[in-house]
């Protein structure tokens, strides 16, 4: 799996519908993936519904959720994708919870592998 640090922040590359997407690792996000709304629109993902989320500041937010096949840890799987207002795609704990993730910021290394 392709990972890298950019300005001290860990990123991973995943594939959504065979399109490479670079995502920030966000262990504070409980969902699987969050993509900017314009990326969701470009990919023509089917809508799965709406979800309520609690933000870090304690406020509630609702977001549209979409379904897509992704390539994660050398396997194709279905994932729910939250359409976000951010310009950055996120990988959250929904994908990381079944993986061994080693983050070493002092060496700018990130390793994600099957558990």
Q: How confident is the model at residue 2 (pLDDT cuts 50, 70, 90)?
A: confident
The tally of domains found in the chain comes to: 1
User: pTM for the full model?
Assistant: 0.90
Sign of the alpha-carbon torsion through 3, 111, 77, 92: negative
Write the CB contacts of 81 (distance below 8 Å, at least 6 apart in sequence): 16, 32, 33, 34, 35, 40, 45, 65, 66, 67, 68
Q: How confident is the model at residue 93 (pLDDT cuts 50, 70, 90)?
A: very high
pLDDT digit string, tens, across residues 35-49:
999 999 999 999 999
Domain that holds residue 104: 3-114
Report the CATH number that the domain containing residue 100 is assigned in CATH: 2.40.70.10
Q: How confident is the model at residue 92 (pLDDT cuts 50, 70, 90)?
A: very high
pLDDT digit string, tens, across residues 61-77:
899 999 999 999 999 99
């Amino acid at each position: 799996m392709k990972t890298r640090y950019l300005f001290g922040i860990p990123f991973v590359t995943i594939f959504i519908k065979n399109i490479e997407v670079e995502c920030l690792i966000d262990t504070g996000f409980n969902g699987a993936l969050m993509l900017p709304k314009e990326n969701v629109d470009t990919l023509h993902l089917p809508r799965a519904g709406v979800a309520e989320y609690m933000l870090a500041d304690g406020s509630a937010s609702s977001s549209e959720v979409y379904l897509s096949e992704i390539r994660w840890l050398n396997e194709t799987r279905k994932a729910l994708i939250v359409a976000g207002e951010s310009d950055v795609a996120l990988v959250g704990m929904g994908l990381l919870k079944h993986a061994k993730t080693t983050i070493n910021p002092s060496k700018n290394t990130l390793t994600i592998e099957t558990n």
